[in-house]
């Protein structure tokens, strides 16, 4: 198991997420067409209360894809591997480990990458406006990120080679740039 990231651009609110039996019926209808829910809709669920701000004001519900929509997905690693990657991102951007950001989030509000560092590692959604900010963070720090892997040292068994850290950095950059275009990003 691992953390999958899914981003889409140019999505449009279609309807609320149906409850139990209605949801099951919707899934049956979609499956009868030979499709999955995510092929037809971008399911934009609400986040845990501590991460609701990451929705960026977007209304939870099912979002339709449009003719302009583009999709991108990638594996961000195992959960433990992603947590190691995120901690390295925090060290890179803020010069403190991720736990320092989690303990005192107000101190780091508005800083680069904080909306990603102080976010779930398994299931959550990030709305357009927050994706815009994170896309800018990834873009404006890209040159420095290329040099960062040469500074990484770790005895952590979940540690990745520097090239792998940079590859995931670039994948997140691409996903956030896409989702910043009237879209959203999901941790699955």
Taking only the tens of pLDDT, the chain with its 188 residues reads 789 999 999 999 999 999 999 999 999 999 999 999 999 999 999 999 999 999 999 999 999 999 999 999 999 999 999 999 999 999 999 999 999 999 999 999 999 999 999 999 989 999 999 999 999 999 999 999 999 988 887 776 767 777 899 999 999 999 999 999 999 999 99
Residue 64's DSSP bridge partners are 12, 41
In this prediction the pTM is 0.94
- Both tokens assigned to 104: 């005192």
- Class of residue 91 by CB neighbours under 10 A (exposed 0-12, middle 13-18, buried 19+): middle
């Amino acid at each position: 198991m691992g953390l999958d990231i899914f981003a889409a651009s140019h999505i449009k609110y279609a309807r609320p997420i149906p409850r139990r039996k209605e949801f099951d019926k919707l899934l049956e209808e979609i499956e009868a067409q030979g499709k999955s829910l995510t092929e037809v809709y971008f399911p934009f669920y609400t986040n845990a209360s501590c991460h609701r701000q990451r929705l960026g004001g977007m209304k939870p519900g099912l979002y339709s894809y449009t003719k302009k929509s583009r999709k991108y997905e990638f594996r961000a690693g195992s959960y433990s591997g992603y947590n190691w990657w995120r901690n390295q991102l925090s060290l890179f951007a803020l010069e403190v480990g991720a736990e320092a950001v989690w303990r005192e989030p107000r101190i780091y509000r508005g800083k680069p990458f904080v909306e990603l560092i102080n976010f779930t590692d398994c299931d959550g959604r990030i709305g357009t406006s927050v994706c815009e900010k994170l896309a800018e963070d990834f873009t404006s720090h890209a040159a420095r990120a290329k040099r960062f892997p040469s500074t990484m040292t770790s005895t952590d068994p979940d540690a990745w080679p520097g090239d792998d850290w940079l590859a995931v950095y670039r994948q997140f950059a691409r996903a956030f740039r896409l989702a910043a275009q009237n879209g959203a990003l999901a941790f699955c």
